[in-house]
DNA sequence: CGTCTATTTGAATGTACTCAAAAGCGGTGG
DNA sequence: CCACCGCTTTTGAGTACATTCAAATAGACG
């Protein structure tokens, strides 16, 4: 499936576009590829794009004064990636975005997105829905982070996003959960050796 | 200061309204009061209002299957309170909102807000700015929750919102931080007896 | 004043971390 | 194609952080 078909199929999950609108939207997107390990965005830069992932996996993370890294999100096929705050406000980002796999994206700049908004109100609606969902997902994660043990958080994560278990290295998952890789390794082992841990 | 003056002063921090717009906006708000302990919203209900707090303090919390409560936010004077997701989608909320003090609010319904949006574009801009800020604050909290010890989280909280230390009961702060009240009591004691913990 | 809830204190336990080292795996160059 | 290097994952011992359970004390409210 071509990239343009993929994103149109994605958009159609939320709103309906006629052919003219589809072409208008596609004309504002550009295609980019990133090698595994490559940085798409670094702290201090202004995030000029929202990236729709056609193939691959991106990690958005934060690194504090002591060099401690924490993962805010992993983004895979059919997700958007990009620091929304920096994108909207045109201020420097606090985050790094890095490819965990060879990755292909369709990306849009702020001026182009604004042009699309004015010509295709449906796209506005789609992004409003996406923002609502992102907001509520964040709230759920906050509740989870302050309620659950590492084991519960891990089980919930791989239940919500089954692809992550196979696809994302243990170390990176630990950075997302806020635990040490050593401890996550123990947790996995315990789960694997506990009969009927699925219930 | 009257409630109407307070919210106008608040709005003026973000955007400028002329006198006609001010009156239009105010005409869409209604005044309500809540007694300490009273619930403004319960899980399963649809959140019909966004509440601007003139006086008092509201707590938004989540209670899981086991009855375990966790606090998502505390809201005091000059903050908005209300489950945005339920408000926008008109679906049942997952949260409880309860008054921690006798509280006075100015509130707006979704139809009235939409009317205001269409007549006063500035209000649209204001809420967009507020949503951006809420989103970024949530991201920072997620990073903090997975990076920091209980002591760090507590110190950061009272540094960011100094009023909370005096005003919000220890037990409620513990429900926000995701630790037991007993442990927070120990943390406070340790801080109080550690010379130069401010640095 | 009495009752109810919030806060403090302490002991025992469990969860997760640090440090250290070994084993596994993937990519690169010869 | 294999050997090596660097990074990830596993394993283990000792420690620190945070919880549970229990009980005493302090505060708030009618």
Tell me the pLDDT tens digit for each residue of B119-139.
999 999 999 999 989 999 999
Strand partners, A49: A109
Residues B84 and B170 in one domain: no
Using a 10 angstrom Cβ sphere, with 0-12 exposed, 13-18 middle and 19 or more buried, the burial of residue A127 is middle
Cβ within 8 Å, pair A139-B72: yes
> Nearest by CB to B135, which of A85, A142, A177?
A85
User: Which residues in chain A belong to E strands, given as ranges?
Assistant: 30-34, 39-41, 49-55, 58-63, 69-75, 80-81, 96-99, 103-109
Give yes or no for a contact between B139 and A72, defined as CB atoms under 8 angstroms apart. Answer: yes
Residues B140 and B52 in one domain: yes
* Triad B146, A163, A104: Cα angle to 5°: 95
Residues B164 and B136 in one domain: no
* Rounded mean pLDDT, A131-137: 93
State whether residue A152 sits within 8 Å of chain B by CB: no
Give the residue among A1, A103, A15, A85 at the shortest CA–CA distance from A45: A85
Residue A196: predicted pLDDT: 59
Residues B131 and B68 in one domain: yes
Spatial separation of the C-alpha atoms in residues B36 and B99, rounded to whole Å: 5
Whether residue A12 has pLDDT greater than 80: yes
User: Which positions in chain B touch A177 (Cβ < 8 Å)?
Assistant: 146
Residues B52 and B124 in one domain: yes
| Residue ranges making up the domain that contains B10 | 3-147
Phi, psi (rounded to 5 degrees) for A113: -65, -40
Whether residue A149 has pLDDT greater than 70: yes
Question: Given 3-state DSSP classes, what are the helix, strand and coil percentages for chain B, each rounded to the nearest 5?
Answer: 50, 20, 30
Spatial separation of the C-alpha atoms in residues B178 and B109, rounded to whole Å: 32
Residues A83 and A173 in one domain: no
Distance of CA B173 to the CA centre of its chain: 14
Average pLDDT, chain B: 95
Residues B107 and B173 in one domain: no
Cβ within 8 Å, pair A88-B132: yes
Spatial separation of the C-alpha atoms in residues B48 and A29, rounded to whole Å: 38
Cβ within 8 Å, pair A135-B72: no
* Rounded mean pLDDT, A173-185: 98
Q: Which of residues 124-163 of A touch strand C (CB under 7 A)?
A: 149-151
* Residue B197, in any domain of the structure: no
Residue B63: predicted pLDDT: 95
Spatial separation of the C-alpha atoms in residues B181 and B65, rounded to whole Å: 21
The tally of domains found in chain B comes to: 2
Spatial separation of the C-alpha atoms in residues A163 and A168, rounded to whole Å: 8
Q: Which of residues 158-187 of B touch strand C (CB under 7 A)?
A: 169-172, 181-182, 184-186
Percent of chain A with pLDDT strictly greater than 90: 92
| Chain D positions with any atom < 7 A from a protein CB | 8-13, 17-22, 29
Residue A195: predicted pLDDT: 66
Q: What is the CATH number of the domain that holds B136?
A: 2.60.120.10
> Nearest by CB to A146, which of B131, B136, B145?
B145
Residues A51 and A127 in one domain: yes
pLDDT in tens, A44-65: 999 999 999 999 999 999 999 8
Spatial separation of the C-alpha atoms in residues B5 and A156, rounded to whole Å: 47
* Residue B199, in any domain of the structure: no
Beta carbons within 8 Å of B43's beta carbon, 6+ residues apart: B63, B92, B93, B94, B95, B96
Whether residue A1 has pLDDT greater than 80: no
| Chain C positions with any atom < 7 A from a protein CB | 6-11, 15-20
* Rounded mean pLDDT, A179-192: 96
Determine the distance between A185 (CA) and C23 (C1') in angstroms: 14
Spatial separation of the C-alpha atoms in residues B145 and B143, rounded to whole Å: 6
DSSP letter, residue B71: E
The length of chain A, given as a count of residues = 199
State whether residue B150 sits within 8 Å of chain A by CB: no
DSSP letter, residue A49: E
Using a 10 angstrom Cβ sphere, with 0-12 exposed, 13-18 middle and 19 or more buried, the burial of residue A98 is buried
Higher pLDDT, A173 or A192: A173
Contacts 24+ apart (CB under 8 A), B126-131: B126/B11, B126/B14, B126/B15, B129/B14, B130/B14, B130/B80, B131/A131, B131/A135, B131/B84
Residues B157 and B134 in one domain: no
Cβ within 8 Å, pair B138-A143: no
Spatial separation of the C-alpha atoms in residues B155 and B159, rounded to whole Å: 6
Output the pTM of the full model: 0.94
* Residue B68, in any domain of the structure: yes
Whether residue B199 has pLDDT greater than 60: no
pLDDT in tens, B18-53: 999 999 999 999 999 999 999 999 999 999 999 999
Q: Which of A83-92, B88-97, B98-107, B189-198 has the lowest mean pLDDT?
A: B189-198
Determine the distance between B167 (CA) and D7 (C1') in angstroms: 49
The length of chain B, given as a count of residues = 199
Cβ within 8 Å, pair B64-A147: yes
Higher pLDDT, B194 or B161: B161
Average pLDDT, chain A: 94
> Nearest by CB to A138, which of B89, B138, B146?
B138
Residues A16 and A89 in one domain: yes
Residue B195: predicted pLDDT: 66
Spatial separation of the C-alpha atoms in residues B92 and B95, rounded to whole Å: 9
Helix pair B150-160, B170-177: axis angle to 10 deg: 110
* Rounded mean pLDDT, A56-79: 95
- The distance of A3 to chain B (nearest Cα, Å) reads 30
Residue A3: predicted pLDDT: 86
Determine the distance between B182 (CA) and C6 (C1') in angstroms: 11
Give the residue among A88, A33, A66, A76 at the shortest CA–CA distance from A164: A76
Residues B49 and B139 in one domain: yes
- The distance of A146 to chain B (nearest Cα, Å) reads 4
Cβ within 8 Å, pair A85-B146: no
Residues B60 and B103 in one domain: yes
* Residue B94, in any domain of the structure: yes
* Rounded mean pLDDT, A178-197: 89
């Amino acid at each position: 499936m071509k990239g343009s078909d993929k994103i149109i199929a994605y958009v159609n999950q939320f709103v309906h576009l006629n052919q003219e609108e589809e072409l208008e939207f596609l004309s504002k997107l550009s295609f980019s590829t990133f090698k595994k390990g490559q940085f798409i965005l670094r702290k201090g830069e202004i995030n000029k794009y929202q990236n729709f992932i056609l193939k691959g996996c991106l990690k958005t993370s934060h690194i504090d004064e002591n060099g401690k890294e924490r993962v805010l999100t992993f983004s895979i096929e059919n997700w958007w990636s990009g620091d929304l705050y920096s994108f909207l406000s045109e201020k420097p980002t606090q985050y790094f975005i890095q490819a965990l796999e060879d990755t292909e994206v369709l990306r849009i700049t702020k001026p182009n997105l604004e042009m699309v908004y004015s010509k295709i109100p449906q796209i506005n609606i789609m992004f409003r829905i996406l923002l609502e969902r992102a907001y509520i997902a964040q709230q759920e994660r906050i509740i989870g982070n302050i309620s659950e043990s590492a084991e519960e958080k891990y089980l919930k994560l791989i239940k919500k996003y089954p692809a992550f278990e196979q696809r994302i290295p243990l170390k990176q998952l630990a950075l997302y959960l806020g635990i040490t890789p050593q401890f996550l390794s123990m947790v996995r082992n315990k789960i694997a050796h506990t009969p009927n841990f699925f219930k």
